[in-house]
Amino acid sequence: HTHRDRLAMSTFTSKTNRINFPAPVKESVAKSSGGYCSITDCLVSLYARGEGKNGPKGVFLGEIAHIYSAAANGPGGQGGKSSEFLASEDNAMAICSGCHTNIDKIRQRYPEDDLFAMKAVRERAQAIALHPIVKHYVTRLGPSRLDELLREHPTESDEQIVERYIRFGHTAIPLLDLAKQVSAEQCQIIAGVAPLLISQAIQ
Residues 6+ away with beta carbon under 8 Å from 177: none
The secondary structure element, H or E, covering residue 162 is: helix 158-191
Is 10's pLDDT higher than 50? Answer: no
pLDDT of residue 92: 97
pLDDT above 70 as % of the chain:
76
Nearest to 12 by CA among 27, 2, 24, 3: 24
pLDDT of residue 57: 63
pLDDT of residue 172: 87
More confident residue, 31 or 57: 31
Q: Is 14 helix (H, G, I), strand (E, B) or coil?
A: coil
pLDDT, mean over the chain: 83
Is 59's pLDDT higher than 50? Answer: yes
Distance in angstroms (rounded) separating the CA atoms of residues 65 and 91: 8
Distance in angstroms (rounded) separating the CA atoms of residues 29 and 94: 6
pLDDT of residue 174: 81
Per the confidence metrics, is the pTM higher than 0.85? no
Per-residue pLDDT band for 53 (boundaries 50, 70, 90) equals: low
Is 6's pLDDT higher than 50? Answer: no
| Residue 42: exposure state from Cβ atoms within 10 A (0-12, 13-18, ≥19) | middle
Is 197's pLDDT higher than 50? Answer: no
More confident residue, 110 or 174: 110
Distance in angstroms (rounded) separating the CA atoms of residues 187 and 181: 10
| Residue 132: exposure state from Cβ atoms within 10 A (0-12, 13-18, ≥19) | exposed
